[in-house]
Structure 1
């Protein structure tokens, strides 16, 4: 009996060691993914615009990829019954990497022929949809695997992980914008895109190799764990997770009415160069890097729903503030930068809290046997919301009309703001907290937020080795 107990204890210690190793590997893998994100995914819309895409096609680029990508996740749980979670992840990641090659070839053809083929945009839409599709197949399996790896303080871990990933994407985006500006001045912007997409391909391969070293705890799927997407839809308004999923899907719809067109507005309407566009875009990444770990600690202490309520109430103000850029002199890009940079910085603060608390709410609300299934259905509904929202925005923007001499894209931003507020007011109080949290009074969260921000900023000025805990920080 003693030997059995000792053997069980050794196995548990070995498993904890492997989990800790995988937590560190996951951060390294996330860094590689962030290079693909910063050099590739973030520049798909500028790439399409360089090939001559119109507003409707930009809307389709976002909406179709989201719909097909998110609906593909419905099949992932069934794949996990036949294949290991890690194999499902590796399959999706490998083919996602390979899909960057056709995008590189389209740019090469453009350089050789010195003209855009009419079908090029639709090939770009199809290929980008496949990039999202293969990434989406891997997502439920990855979430399920990480739930088994991160067994406590998930908000704190993902907050820290996302900060590292955000810093990486931010640096890559800045360098990418400088590269594109350099080649644009030489009338060879497609060479810049070829370099960026080649980096996206290479670093996704690196990500694939790191993922292959992840530890995978055994997953025991209980009989009766599965329920169909149809059953989920039928019961969604009756249970807490279903209401939460509907809330997120509706927020995605309201957001996607405008989200594909911020890049169009900056690059086409305001005629900003890639560097100014990147500075405005990364301002949200900077605030995300700073505030996401803080939101993680707050959600661990006060609950995910409280963070969703606070940030959800602020989300409608983002497109509302964008609308008022119409009153700024667009002939001076630096003035627009001074206004839009803080607007996007504010956007990063609220979306950091909203996205993190949404993720950790799922982890708390769903059992590990059903996590992949519920994530798949959650993302499928979100995909429908994104598809319909972006499609609606694209159709409205294609009308090319003006009200009060204000461009239709700005009215789309205002419509998105109104829809976000309606969804929030109608849905947020229907959701219940699932995590046991500390009792708090009104104002406690604000006090805690200020304290965490002060402490976090203080920590950020210390050397990196202190941040990673290699040496203790002495304060006197």
Structure 2
């Protein structure tokens, strides 16, 4: 018995090391794939020369992909394991980015392949593959990572991924600044390096083996699972809030980096510094928000963080091409408040998801939140193009749009008042259940949340006691 236990412990230690290394190697491409991040915005609207309306469609693709996966994943789950789904679609996603890197000079403005339809189609396939990878990894990780020690391990892993993200931001922004006269080549090299690192990451994932027996969801009836979800009033109300917030935030949210580039005249390096500042302040304040959630509840944390986050955004009224210093204050405080909002969202959803319909609940939340968020960037792109063509005073137009944007987003907090919050969190398995908010965190500056997993204090000890019993 002890020999089998030693073998299992040895296998687990190997898996944990592999997961850390593969996560570090995957981070550059994972960040690039997030919608609305400043690198993608610069590449699309600057290097490739796409119209803002087309960029809005591309920014909405991951949200549409989340809707499609709601129907695709149950069909795949009945036929393949979560590991197979994750790895196969990881390779498909990788191939899409290989194609993007190779074709970049040809799909740029003036290139022989420059076609918005081709570019959108390529990114659509990549977005769908990425959505399936995220949800399947959510379930697969439970096959080898025991509940005991999970929070401590993922906390350490996430801190290392944060360092990897910051290192990527620093190096990529410096490289693009060095090759600013040939931005296409700069982006091409960054993509190829990111792809190579991700390829090694996937190979390492192949070596991860299961360490415990898990429930087989392939025989579960999908209708029974969704019936359980629809009976959960608090969960449905929170999903409605998430959908409303996602729509309001994504109409103009992905275009703030574009405003910075085209209206305020900022460089990629300057915007990268803003993102790194928000990443740092958000990560440092994460323990504080954990204590707030434990003491006052997730709903209070959400409302306070949302008010501070959007309230600070009103300071955009003082931003001008010759006065961009105020943005550092906005993003610094925004990183703190944004991390609190996203932390509260994760903690709340962990409380609300029913254990008997875990995968279905994750997919349902993704689809519902993403459906509204998918339409928003398309409308935002049309609005951005209209503003550029209509108004001479671009800075003044930016101020008005910013004022309306932050006012509408902060008003969605009213929906939180009607949500009954459970007293205790009972589910720690739903890693990645709030992917739309992870994506929003990326474009708002708190990019370290792209791979963050949350565990309430005490869950680990409770799980350990349950296993002993």
TM-score, normalization by structure 1: 0.77
Matches within 5 A, 1:391-402: 391-400=378-387, 401-402=390-391
Q: Could you tell me whether the CA contact under 8 Å between 1:397 and 1:409 is conserved in 2?
A: no
Q: Could you tell me whether the CA contact under 8 Å between 2:28 and 2:194 is conserved in 1?
A: yes
1:362 paired with 2:355, answer no
Deviations 1:302-337 (A, max 9, x none): 654453343233332254333x2xx3441x3xx41x
Deviations 1:210-250 (A, max 9, x none): 222333343324665523898689x37x5222222222222
RMSD, aligned α-carbons: 3.2
Where does residue 276 of structure 1 map in the other structure?
Answer: 270
Could you tell me which runs of 5 or more consecutive residues in structure 2 were left unpaired when the two chains were aligned. 427-469
2:327 to 328, 340, 347: 340
Cα drift, residue 62 of structure 1: 0.7
CA distance in 1, matches of 2:59, 2:129: 15
Distance change (3 Å), C-alpha of 1:414 and 1:274: same
CA distance in 1, matches of 2:309, 2:417: 13
Q: Could you tell me whether the CA contact under 8 Å between 1:66 and 1:383 is conserved in 2?
A: yes
1:174 to 167, 170, 176: 170
- Worse overlay, 349-358 or 44-53: 349-358
CA distance in 1, matches of 2:157, 2:298: 18
Where does residue 462 of structure 1 map in the other structure?
Answer: none
CA distance in 1, matches of 2:349, 2:208: 22
Where does residue 438 of structure 2 map in the other structure?
Answer: none
- Worse overlay, 221-230 or 141-150: 221-230
CA distance in 2, matches of 1:253, 1:154: 33
1:420 paired with 2:409, answer yes
CA distance in 1, matches of 2:155, 2:292: 11
1:28 paired with 2:21, answer yes
Cα drift, residue 129 of structure 1: 2.4
Q: Which has the larger radius of gyration?
A: 1
1:104 paired with 2:101, answer yes
CA distance in 2, matches of 1:360, 1:427: 14
Deviations 1:83-104 (A, max 9, x none): 1111111112111111112211
Where does residue 379 of structure 1 map in the other structure?
Answer: 366
SS of residue in 1 equivalent to 2:285: helix
Where does residue 44 of structure 1 map in the other structure?
Answer: 40
Where does residue 259 of structure 1 map in the other structure?
Answer: 253
Cα drift, residue 380 of structure 1: 1.0
Distance change (3 Å), C-alpha of 1:303 and 1:137: same
Cα drift, residue 350 of structure 1: 2.1
Distance change (3 Å), C-alpha of 1:39 and 1:375: closer
Deviations 1:313-367 (A, max 9, x none): 3332254333x2xx3441x3xx41x211221122222222332343344344335
Q: Could you tell me whether the CA contact under 8 Å between 1:159 and 1:356 is conserved in 2?
A: no
Where does residue 199 of structure 1 map in the other structure?
Answer: 193
Where does residue 452 of structure 2 map in the other structure?
Answer: none
Q: Could you tell me whether the CA contact under 8 Å between 2:57 and 2:377 is conserved in 1?
A: yes
CA distance in 2, matches of 1:32, 1:86: 19
CA distance in 1, matches of 2:131, 2:355: 19
Where does residue 338 of structure 2 map in the other structure?
Answer: 351
Distance change (3 Å), C-alpha of 1:23 and 1:245: farther
TM-score, normalization by structure 2: 0.78
- Worse overlay, 204-213 or 91-100: 204-213
1:126 to 117, 121, 137: 121
Q: Could you tell me whether the CA contact under 8 Å between 1:163 and 1:292 is conserved in 2?
A: no
CA distance in 2, matches of 1:339, 1:417: 16
CA distance in 2, matches of 1:412, 1:279: 23
CA distance in 2, matches of 1:296, 1:154: 17
- Worse overlay, 263-272 or 421-430: 421-430
Where does residue 144 of structure 1 map in the other structure?
Answer: 139
- Equivalent pairs counted in the alignment come to 417
Cα drift, residue 19 of structure 1: 4.4
Could you tell me which runs of 5 or more consecutive residues in structure 1 were left unpaired when the two chains were aligned. 1-6, 438-476
SS of residue in 2 equivalent to 1:315: helix
Where does residue 58 of structure 2 map in the other structure?
Answer: 61
CA distance in 1, matches of 2:30, 2:41: 13
Where does residue 442 of structure 1 map in the other structure?
Answer: none
Cα drift, residue 274 of structure 1: 1.6
Deviations 1:425-467 (A, max 9, x none): 1234414135259xxxxxxxxxxxxxxxxxxxxxxxxxxxxxx
Distance change (3 Å), C-alpha of 1:275 and 1:245: same
Cα drift, residue 414 of structure 1: 2.4
Q: Could you tell me whether the CA contact under 8 Å between 2:351 and 2:422 is conserved in 1?
A: no
Distance change (3 Å), C-alpha of 1:424 and 1:377: same
2:183 to 189, 201, 209: 189
Distance change (3 Å), C-alpha of 1:153 and 1:410: farther
